[in-house]
């Protein structure tokens, strides 16, 4: 059976060019980047190139990029790092109710340490309110952490406006951009972003490597003790091969940005058009226009998400209900609850996220399968 993959928000395949650049660092170029001899220098040089590529892609300086082991670690380092380093200024931060667990659970961990966190509401499109954000700011507020784009419903937040508010009040602004990198053009200077998290496996790079951008002079504590790697912010021998892969993957993402973006929007709109016309009572979740190009999140009444996924899987279709992280859990997704979907509807929700290898024929197969599954359910 042919496998059709519609879960690019969970992870993406590694591009061939990315893999090719990585391979020598598993084979002959195995030096430790901290070593002074030739193999070490070559590993260091490869990392410098990757750092430059990441910096170029977001309008940053290479010395503002710190490599980590994943998006989750970048979020932890940004949030715990900033809050602990600035605890004398205050112990309050602001985030939203629809963040990825890597942010939400980090904030909850800080609450246990005595920090205060405000979790902003979102409207039915998944947008935060700028007024509510400004009202939440106090003299104690050190940081705002709001995701660039949501991993479940694709909604893109008003990042420029949030950056302005943060700057006006002299508060640090971190954004989890794991879903946005490669899908949205980002310039950290223009958007007043102080810290930004990314993860290579969400933009056709390898799993297990991420990066944190932290603007020059922004004070943050390390969260892992050990050697002095990454300018003493992240202990541990650098994962050279994967860092090389991250650098190549981000460069390719922005090189082919226009065609990639256009392709995903076409697939998504074609999918929306067909399901709205051919299946009764579907509900599209997330913002109509301010959303990730490849994200489609749809509620189908009368069927549970898990059952839908199971029957799609039998037809070779890989998709997701809620988010990958909450699959298997009984609770409905915190994101769908926050946008006001009641439990029943949020359980019949399917997230399909399109990618560069998907075709219109794949989408037709998906829609035809959905129609069949839903019709069979009705006939039961």
Ligand X SMILES: *Cc1c(COP(=O)(O)O)cnc(C)c1O
Residue count at the site for ligand X (CB under 6 A)? Answer: 13
- Name residues contacting ligand X, limited to 207-226 (CB under 6 A): 210
Instruction: Find the shortest distance in angstroms from Cβ 347 to ligand X.
Output: 21
Query: Is 178 a binder of ligand X (CB under 6 A)?
Result: yes
Region of 67-75, 134-142, 253-261, 273-281 interacting with ligand X (CB under 6 A): 67-75
Residue whose CB is nearest to ligand X in the complex, by number: 71
Give the 3-state secondary structure of residue 106.
Answer: helix
Token pair of 298, please? Answer: 């749809």
Residue appearing with tokens 């189908």: 300
- The correct pick among 21, 64, 176, 230 for binding ligand X (CB under 6 A) is 176
DSSP string, 72-104: HHHHHHHHHHHHHHTTTT-SEEEEETT--HHHH
Give the 3-state secondary structure of residue 49.
Answer: helix
Query: Is 243 a binder of ligand X (CB under 6 A)?
Result: no
Token pair of 288, please? Answer: 């109509």
DSSP string, 7-21: BTTT--PPPHHHHHH
Of 99 and 251, which CB lies nearer to ligand X in the complex structure?
99
Interacting residues of 20 by C-beta distance below 8 A, sequence separation 6+: none
Instruction: Find the shortest distance in angstroms from Cβ 199 to ligand X.
Output: 3
- The correct pick among 15, 42, 51, 100 for binding ligand X (CB under 6 A) is 100
- The correct pick among 147, 211, 267, 309 for binding ligand X (CB under 6 A) is 147
- The correct pick among 60, 70, 146, 165 for binding ligand X (CB under 6 A) is 70
Query: Is 152 a binder of ligand X (CB under 6 A)?
Result: no
Query: Is 179 a binder of ligand X (CB under 6 A)?
Result: yes
Query: Is 249 a binder of ligand X (CB under 6 A)?
Result: no
| Beta-strand relationship, 210-214 and 195-199 | antiparallel
Interacting residues of 124 by C-beta distance below 8 A, sequence separation 6+: 339, 340
Query: Is 321 a binder of ligand X (CB under 6 A)?
Result: no
Instruction: Find the shortest distance in angstroms from Cβ 240 to ligand X.
Output: 18
Query: Is 202 a binder of ligand X (CB under 6 A)?
Result: yes
325 is catalytic: yes
Task: Judge whether 166 and 194 are in contact, CB under 8 Å.
Answer: yes
DSSP string, 193-207: -SEEEEEGGGTTS-S
Helical segments of 169-223, H only: none
Of 102 and 367, which CB lies nearer to ligand X in the complex structure?
102
Give the 3-state secondary structure of residue 313.
Answer: helix
- The correct pick among 175, 199, 239, 369 for binding ligand X (CB under 6 A) is 199
Of 42 and 291, which CB lies nearer to ligand X in the complex structure?
291
Query: Is 295 a binder of ligand X (CB under 6 A)?
Result: no
Task: Judge whether 75 and 197 are in contact, CB under 8 Å.
Answer: yes
| Site residues for ligand X per CB under 6 A | 70-72, 100, 102, 147, 151, 176, 178-179, 199, 202, 210
Catalytic residue IDs: 325
């Amino acid at each position: 059976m042919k496998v059709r993959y519609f879960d690019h928000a969970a992870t993406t395949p590694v591009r061939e060019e990315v893999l090719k650049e990585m391979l020598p660092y598993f084979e002959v170029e195995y030096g430790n980047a901290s070593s002074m001899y030739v193999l070490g220098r070559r590993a260091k040089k490869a990392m410098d190139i990757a750092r430059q590529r990441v910096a170029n892609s977001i309008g940053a300086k290479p010395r503002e990029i710190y490599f980590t082991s994943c998006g989750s670690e970048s979020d932890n380092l940004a949030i715990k790092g900033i809050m602990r380093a600035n605890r004398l200024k205050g112990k309050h931060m602001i985030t939203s109710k629809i963040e990825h667990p890597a942010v939400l659970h980090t904030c909850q961990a800080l609450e246990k340490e005595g920090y205060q966190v405000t979790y902003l509401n979102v409207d039915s499109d998944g947008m935060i309110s700028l007024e509510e954000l400004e009202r939440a700011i106090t003299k104690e507020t050190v940081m705002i952490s709001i995701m660039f784009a949501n991993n479940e419903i694709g909604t893109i937040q008003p990042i420029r406006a949030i950056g302005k508010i943060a700057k006006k009040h002299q508060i640090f602004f971190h954004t989890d951009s794991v879903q946005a990198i490669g899908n949205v053009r980002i310039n950290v200077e223009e958007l007043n972003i102080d810290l930004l998290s990314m993860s290579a496996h969400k933009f056709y790079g390898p799993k297990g490597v991420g990066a944190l951008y932290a603007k020059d002079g922004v004070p943050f504590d390390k969260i892992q003790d050990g050697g002095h790697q990454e300018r003493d912010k992240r202990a541990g021998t650098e994962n050279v091969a994967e860092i090389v892969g991250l650098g190549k993957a981000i460069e390719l993402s922005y090189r082919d940005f226009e065609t990639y973006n256009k392709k995903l929007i076409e697939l998504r709109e074609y999918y929306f058009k067909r399901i709205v016309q051919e299946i009764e009572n579907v509900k599209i979740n997330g913002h109509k226009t301010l959303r990730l190009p490849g994200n489609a999140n749809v509620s189908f009444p009368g069927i549970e998400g898990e059952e839908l996924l199971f029957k799609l899987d039998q037809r070779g279709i890989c998709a997701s209900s809620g988010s990958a992280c909450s699959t298997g859990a009984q609770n409905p997704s915190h994101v769908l609850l926050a946008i006001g979907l009641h439990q029943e509807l949020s359980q019949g929700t399917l997230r399909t996220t399109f990618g560069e290898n998907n075709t219109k024929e794949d989408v037709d197969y998906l829609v035809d399968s959905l129609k069949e599954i839903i019709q069979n359910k009705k006939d039961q």
